[in-house]
Amino acid sequence: MEGAYDDRDGKIWLDGQFVDWRSANVHILTHALHYASSVFEGERAYNGQIFLSRKHSERLHYSAGQLDFEIPYSVDEIEAAKAAVLEANGFTDAYVRAVAWRGAGPDMGVASQRNPVRLAIAAWEWGSYYGDAKMKGAKLDIAKWKRPSPETAPSHAKAAGLYMICTMAKHAAEAKGCGDALMFDYRGYVAEATGANIFFVKDGEVHTPKPDCFLNGLTRQTVVGMLEERQVKVHERHIMPEELEGFEQCWLTGTAAEVTPVGQIGDYNFEVGALTREIAEGYETLVRR
């Protein structure tokens, strides 16, 4: 599927019914457009099955609660809707986007408790998020923006507003010829990329930032489990920027990114080594069972 995302063939599930893709619209005074009262999930279907589908639906509900609204559809109803979206569009391998938001209603200020909560689910065919980086390793810039303290934003929700600085960081990275950017957190520790968690390898052991102020991704959790099954020592800890020089390998994880090797972050270089390739290949096998 190609072309602008508002001009495609297909069906989108919107508030309990299917609508033509081009008709899946919202009003300009939708609260989420003005005040970021929106949460979402990014999921991938492989061979007709969405990987960790129910966990994604449960997290969507959790994220909504963190933003002080309730989705008017149960987890079971969301699960059924996602399956119906794949069937309606004839997809077996696809990216699935569920998004819930405060819509237009009686309130048009910061407070919006009287406005309806809406839910949409779309799916499209989407290849590798980082292009050919799976073979040679992605190139990352180092962002000037930092992940916020949990005291300033609901950092464990998958909330649209948290991605504003990610968009700016990735645009700056792309302007430098990079595919993404590494972000530090508000304390100066290594955190994550703009839309993916990050792992490092040193002396056969794996180090990954402790997710205490950013999303503990479902792919991240899956990869940690894979490493533990292989009896690879995993250190979930605070990582200082100056430690980057000593790491040998690096990869990113996320639903869109899957497992993507990293070849460079700023002035630091990494090899696409054996463990990186083993985890990438193992993940590909796991999701297609």
Quickly state the pLDDT bin for 86 (edges 50, 70, 90): very high
Tokens of 166: 């990610």
Tens-digit pLDDT profile for residues 269-280: 999 999 999 999
**Mean pLDDT, the chain, whole residue set:** 96
Tens-digit pLDDT profile for residues 45-64: 999 999 999 999 999 999 99
- What is the mean pLDDT of the segment spanning 72-78? 98
- What is the mean pLDDT of the segment spanning 172-179? 97
Tens-digit pLDDT profile for residues 233-243: 999 999 999 99
The CATH number that domain 11-124 falls under is 3.30.470.10
For the entire predicted model, the pTM comes to: 0.96
pLDDT of residue 121: 98
Q: How many whole angstroms from its chain centre is CA 255?
A: 6
Q: Is the pLDDT of residue 259 over 70?
A: yes
Quickly state the pLDDT bin for 3 (edges 50, 70, 90): confident
Q: Does domain 133-287 have CATH number 3.20.10.10?
A: yes
Question: SS in 3 state form for the chain?
Answer: CCCCCCCCCCEEEECCEEEEHHHCCCCCCCHHHHHCCEEEEEEEEECCEECCHHHHHHHHHHHHHHCCCCCCCCHHHHHHHHHHHHHHHCCCCEEEEEEEEECCCCCCCCCCCCCCEEEEEEEECCCCCCCCHHHHCEEEEEEEEEECCCCCCCCCCCEHHHHHHHHHHHHHHHHCCCCEEEEEECCCCEEEECCCEEEEEECCEEEEECCCCCCCCHHHHHHHHHHHHCCCCEEEECCCHHHHHHCCEEEEEECCCEEEEEEEECCEECCCCHHHHHHHHHHHHHHCC
Domain ranges of the chain: 11-124, 133-287
CA-wise closest residue to 98 among 114, 113, 67, 77:
77
Of the two residues 25 and 135, the one the predictor is more confident about is: 25
